[in-house]
Amino acid sequence: MNEDDKLDLILKKLEENERRLTDIENRTAKEEKREESELSSIEKRVERATQNKTKRYLEIDLVRLVKIAGIILVVVGALMFLLTGFSIVLGMTGTSFSALNSTTTSLQFFNGPTGQVFNQSILNGFTNLSSQLATVGSEQLAGNIKCYGAQAQTSAAPATPAYCVLVLPDNNYDIIPIPVPSSFNAPSVDQSGKPTFVYVGAQGCPYCAQERYVFTVALSRFGNFSKLFYDRSATIDGNISTLMYNFSASLFNQFVVNAPLVNNGPYGDSNPTPFFEGAYYNSSYINFNSFDEVGSSFLLNISGLPAFIQNSVITPARNGFGITNFQLGGVPFFDINNKFVFDGANIYPALFNYQGSNQPSISQILYAIHNPSLNNLNGFGETVLGAANILTAQICDAINNSAPVCSLGYISTLQQKISSAYSSAQLNTSSFSITSLSYLYMAMVAIGIVLLFLSFTGKLP
């Protein structure tokens, strides 16, 4: 083999080695590329797995949070709604009233036994107050009416509707019963072609004891009482000398004198008591439906009321009459033909200032009414006459001023003054009785239920 052949052989081997090296480099490059691709794929899968795991954790946390939020909304909303719904009624039963205690109640009365009929001179005395009423009426026309907006329920006090008071020059005042909004469409309480004044109270209630004097004076201007009865509030609750429109000795003995001992309750419909029902009253202009519960209940027990009164008066009153925050719960309560309404006494309870043996008798109370002065029983007579003037003006409104008393100058002016005060004050008396807070609590419950449904059914977005 010559030298040229040897050189050619060497060159061919070099070329072959170079091709092998190139092949190795290409295979190495491909392998590196494949490994890089696999590594990238693994990294992506790991990243996706991590993201999915994080997402699942977030979803689990979200569902848990939604469930917890739903439960909280439902529980808190329901509790607050119940508290708001019942607080008005519960707030009216607090410490203002005490239950009758049969061990200290007896038939003994200051000026005669409970249930005894007033003599004719006292009956006539209620219709012989024209000059006293006119004197107080002139003071009322010189006074100022102040109006207050509705107050929402708080932890310290029940909700109250918007109302006005008439402040007299001597700083005494009369609370003006609340006008039912004109948008209220429930039927009036007409009976036998006459508007009706409905009163519901309790025999042992001290506020009712004072309020009955106001009703008696006011109604005596539209008709006549042929009978009134001696009575007093519960012995351990004011023991206030008062009058009654009807009386049953058997009911009184059964539910007061001989009743089991009652101490601080129970109250309300769970403890139904009968009524002294009706009044010995006659008028050409207005009916008077009177109901006084007998026994320990000072919350309105509707079970014993006639269906007509329940449907036309009590149900609308408990639904609010369209008056902000108004909800019937306690006594005294009165309604003037669904035009004016009040739950509570519209006079200052002046007789509460007298305790024990200092409690004035019927004769002293009547003297204060016939001689109205701040020096007589803390102005109780003046307060009674002023409140009677206001009721007179409102009754005149309800009967379209058809009675002679409505033509008295101070009555018609007082009627206009009250109407103007409520109109100019622009009181919010048109909303439903459930407060805005109640709507909020209802919304909380609804939202909580929706959240719980979505969380349990897996329908969360």
| Distance from the first to the final alpha carbon of the chain | 87
- Between 403 and 102, the higher pLDDT residue: 403
**Do the beta carbons of residue 267 and residue 298 sit within 8 Å?**
yes
Radius of gyration of the chain (CA): 41
Question: What residues does 141 pair with on adjacent strands?
Answer: none
Which residue type does 139 have? E
* Lowest mean pLDDT segment, chosen from 47-56, 111-120, 161-170, 202-211: 47-56
Residues in the chain: 461
**Neighbour tally for 68: CB within 10 Å:** 13
Chain centroid, CA 205 distance in Å:
20
Look up the pTM and report it.
Answer: 0.69
- 400 DSSP assignment: T
Q: What are the structure tokens assigned to 135, written together?
A: 């004197």
User: What rounded mean pLDDT belongs to the chain?
Assistant: 78
**Beta strands per DSSP E along 390-441:** none
Exposure of 329 by Cβ count < 10 A (0-12 exposed, 13-18 middle, 19+ buried)? buried
The mean pLDDT of 336-359, rounded to a whole number, is 79
Per-residue confidence at 89, pLDDT binned at 50, 70, 90? very low
**Do the beta carbons of residue 429 and residue 179 sit within 8 Å?**
yes
Helices 380-398, 362-370: axis angle to 10 degrees equals: 70
Chain centroid, CA 168 distance in Å:
29
CA dihedral 260, 261, 265, 268 (to 10 degrees): 20
Percent of the chain having pLDDT more than 70?
Answer: 75
pLDDT in tens, 280-338: 999 999 999 999 988 766 666 677 788 889 888 988 888 888 888 887 877 889 999 99
CA dihedral 78, 81, 86, 88 (to 10 degrees): 160
Which residues lie below 8 Å from residue 30, measured CB to CB, with a gap of 6+?
none
- What per-residue string of b and e applies to 380-405 under the rule 16 or more CB within 10 Å gives b? bbbbbbbbbbbbbbbbbbbbebebeb
Percent of residues in the chain assigned helix, strand, coil, to nearest 5: 50, 15, 35
Question: How high is the pLDDT of residue 136?
Answer: 94
Which residue type does 90 have? L
Residue ranges of domains in the chain:
92-430
In what helix (H) or strand (E) does residue 392 lie, and over which residues does it extend? helix 380-398
Per-residue confidence at 407, pLDDT binned at 50, 70, 90? very high
Question: What residues does 342 pair with on adjacent strands?
Answer: 334
